[in-house]
Amino acid sequence: MNIGDYRKEIRSKFSRTHLPFVTVKYAQTLDGKIATRTGDSRWISSPSSRRLAHRLRSIHQAVLVGVNTIIQDDPQLNVRLVKGKNPIRIVVDSRFRSPLQAKAFKRGTKTMLAVTPKANKRRIRDFEKKGVEILILKKNKTGQVDLEDLLRKLGERNVRSLLVEGGSKIITSFLKQKLVDRMVIVIAPLIIGKGIRGIESVRTRKAGDLASLSSLKIYECGNDVILDGLIRK
């Protein structure tokens, strides 16, 4: 599989900042949708691209999704389609809506749940009994989990690489706050029409503030096209 080797960049960033190198990965249609209006996203990408996604999980120390992805898709967030080590699973849940029985919280792989100080203490104990580590993090101005605080906490735990898989709100928040180092975008030859966009509106005053990719690699994977590059900073 054609996956860019960013080990040098990962080491460099961590030595300078003690923060993980952040890769955002998502699959979209030609018209920029990651799911239908009802939230159905299976299966937009090809089998080859799904194996690529599992390969990306295997080479990152941690994989992260938001609670909406847990509720909508109930992903396992492990490595199954290729050989490799399971990453730490991280769920960002500002309002603590995660279902206790979700697949991501099953024992066997280390899992972290990122919540705010308002999180219900009884529910925290329930998750801890399942072996889930609860990260109580600062709130940002809108009452959501502060993603910069999350990255600092991960750095303190020596997590040097993080794969962000979605959904659209989490991806947009990472981009808005300029916390992304690399993007891997799978483009499938499909058109949905009305549906859910991979990236929500990112307001900016100048074209120069827009996120752009450098060291860009473009290649085919099954029926899909992959864009893989570093965020220019």
pLDDT digits (tens, 9 = 90+) for 72-84: 999 999 999 999 9
Query: How many residues are recorded in the chain?
Result: 233
What's the pLDDT tens digit per position in 117-137?
999 999 999 999 999 999 999
Helix ranges (H only) for the chain are: 7-17, 47-58, 67-73, 121-129, 147-156, 168-176
Predicted pLDDT at 39: 56
The domain over range 7-195+208-231 is classified in CATH as 2.102.10.10:
no
Percent of the chain with pLDDT over 70: 89
| Model pLDDT for residues 9-59, shown as the tens digit of each residue | 999 999 999 999 999 999 999 888 876 655 555 667 889 999 999 999 999
pLDDT higher than threshold 80 for residue 195 = no
Q: How confident is the model at residue 5 (pLDDT cuts 50, 70, 90)?
A: confident
Short-list 67, 135, 128, CA closest to 102: 67
Quote the pTM value: 0.91
% of the chain exceeding 90 in pLDDT = 74
Count CA atoms within 13 Å of residue 137 on its CB side: 27
Which pLDDT score, from 0 to 100, does residue 199 have?
74
Name the E strands within the chain: 21-29, 33-36, 62-66, 88-92, 111-115, 133-136, 161-166, 182-188, 195-197, 213-221, 224-231
| Predicted local distance difference test score (pLDDT) of residue 207 | 46
Q: How far apart are CA 110 and CA 106, in angstroms?
A: 9
